[in-house]
Amino acid sequence: MKVSALTTAELELQLKQSGIFIQTGPFVTHLQTRIASVAQGVGLLYTDFSLLEQTDYADFHVSLERPHNLRRWFKPQVLFRFDSSPPFKPLPLDQALPMLEWGLNWCVSSHANRYLIIHAAVVEKDGYAAILPAPPGSGKSTLCAALVNRGWRLLSDELTLVRVDDGKLIPLPRPVSLKNQSIDVIQHYAPEAIFSPKVHDTIKGTVALMRPPTASVARALEPAQIAWVIFPKYQAGASTQLQLLPKSRTFMRVADNAFNYSLLGTKGFETLSNLIDAADCYDFTYSVLDEAIATFAALKPPTFNT
C-alpha cells in the first residue's frame, strides 16, 4: 500500500497512534507524530512511497513532538526523537517538516555504515549516474532539481550511498530541499513540480521541499552505475564550463565530503578508489539552467564503462 491510499484524516490518525512504517530506498522508518503539519507534509511529499505492515523492525524509529514544558504553548517548538532520545535541540514548531528531513538525513549519515556515504546529490540517466558533491550555496540542489524535472532519475538530493561490496550507487529518493531564491527558480523552471509551503527564518534561510518524481520513487530499489563525478558551482553571469579534473584531486575532494570515509578504514579507501577510477571527473560552472541541462545531456560515459 502507498501513502496515497490513506486520506489525510487516516494518515493523521495513524501517525498519532501506532505510527507508519515507510520504505525510503533501502531503509524502513517508523514515524510517529501528533503535529498536523508533518502529517500533511508526509501526505503531500511521500504520496508515492510504500507503507509496510506494522512490524517490530525498522531501521529508524523516529518521532516529532512538542516539548513537555512551557514551549509547548509559548513560542511552540518541535523535538525530533530517535529511539526516544532527541539528538538535536528543538526548533520552532513551524520548522517541523524540514526538521523531519534533516533528521532522516542524520539517521542515515550517522548509522548506515554498510555504505560509503558522500554528502552529494546523485542522478542517473540511461543507466549511468552522476555524483554531484558540493558545499552549501553551490547550486547543487537547484541543478539536481532541474535535472530530475528534465528526465534524469533522482537517486538522492543529499546523500550518495555507495555499496562497499560492488561500488553500486544505492537510491535514496526523498524530497528535494531547496533554499531561498532556488525555490522560485525551480517553481518557474518546472511549474508542474509539487512543493511544500515555504518555511522562513530557518538556519538555512527560507526552505521548501519538492516532491520526488514518481518514476524515481518507483525505481528506488534499482542501483545505478557510476559514470561521472561533477563538482557544480552556480555563478551568476558565468559561462557554462565543464573542466576535466585529475582523479587524485577528485579523490581528496570527495573524501572530504564523505561522512564515514575514515570510519570505514581500508574498506572506505578501496570503495572510494574504485568509484573514482570508474568515473570521469569534472568541475562544472553554470548560470543558465537550460545550458546546464544541455551539458549533462551531452555527457558520454567513460569508455571503460561501456
Which 3 state secondary structure label does DSSP give 216?
A: helix
The pLDDT of residue 222: 97
Q: Name the residue with cell 570503495.
A: 271
In a domain, 170, yes or no: yes
Residues 19 and 146 in one domain: no
Residue 197 has pLDDT above 70, yes or no: yes
The pLDDT of residue 304: 57
In a domain, 44, yes or no: yes
Paired sense of beta strands 51-52 and 60-65, if any: unpaired
Residue 71 has pLDDT above 70, yes or no: no
What spatial distance separates the first Cα and last Cα of the chain, rounded to whole Å? 38
Express each pLDDT in 223-265 by its tens digit. Answer: 999 999 999 999 999 999 999 999 999 999 999 999 999 999 9
Last residue of a domain, one of 64, 82, 111: 111
Q: Angle 231-236-240 (CA atoms, 0-180°, nearest 5)?
A: 55
In a domain, 306, yes or no: no
Domain ranges, residue 28:
3-111
Q: Angle 214-285-295 (CA atoms, 0-180°, nearest 5)?
A: 55
Residues 46 and 159 in one domain: no
Residues 291 and 213 in one domain: yes
How far, in Å, are 79, 122, 178, 207, 233 from residue 210 at the CA level?
A: 23, 16, 7, 10, 21
Residues 66 and 141 in one domain: no
Of 149, 215, 212, nearest to 175 by C-alpha is 212
Q: Angle 144-145-151 (CA atoms, 0-180°, nearest 5)?
A: 90
Residue 63 has pLDDT above 80, yes or no: yes
In a domain, 255, yes or no: yes
Instruction: Measure the CA–CA gap between 222 and 55, rounded to whole angstroms.
Output: 24
What would the mean pLDDT of 91-99 be, rounded to a whole number? 97
Q: Angle 66-211-275 (CA atoms, 0-180°, nearest 5)?
A: 105
Instruction: Measure the CA–CA gap between 278 and 271, rounded to whole angstroms.
Output: 11
Residues 94 and 130 in one domain: no
Domain count along the chain: 2
**pTM, whole model, 2 decimals?**
0.94
Helices (H), 174-265: 181-189, 214-218, 247-256, 261-264
Residues 106 and 133 in one domain: no
Instruction: Measure the CA–CA gap between 77 and 56, rounded to whole angstroms.
Output: 29
Last residue of a domain, one of 111, 134, 159: 111
Last residue of a domain, one of 111, 146, 175: 111
Of 178, 75, 183, nearest to 136 by C-alpha is 178
Express each pLDDT in 140-169 by its tens digit. Answer: 999 999 999 999 999 999 999 999 999 999
- Give me the sheet containing 199-202, strands edge to edge: 176-179, 205-210, 199-202
Which 3 state secondary structure label does DSSP give 242?
A: strand
Paired sense of beta strands 115-125 and 169-170, if any: unpaired
Determine what percent of the chain is predicted with pLDDT higher than 70: 98
CA 165 from centroid of its chain's CA atoms: 22
The pLDDT of residue 306: 42
The pLDDT of residue 109: 97
Residues 32 and 125 in one domain: no
Residue 292 has pLDDT above 60, yes or no: yes
Instruction: Measure the CA–CA gap between 123 and 131, rounded to whole angstroms.
Output: 7
Which 3 state secondary structure label does DSSP give 273?
A: helix
Residues 125 and 19 in one domain: no
Residues 143 and 287 in one domain: yes
The pLDDT of residue 53: 84
Residue 293 has pLDDT above 50, yes or no: yes
Residues 160 and 38 in one domain: no
What would the mean pLDDT of 102-117 be, rounded to a whole number? 97
Residues 76 and 208 in one domain: no
What is the helix (H) or strand (E) element at residue 236, kind and residue range?
Answer: none
Q: Angle 235-236-239 (CA atoms, 0-180°, nearest 5)?
A: 75
How far, in Å, are 194, 233, 305 from residue 243 at the CA level?
A: 34, 12, 20
The pLDDT of residue 72: 60
In a domain, 43, yes or no: yes
What would the mean pLDDT of 66-70 be, rounded to a whole number? 78
Residues 220 and 189 in one domain: yes
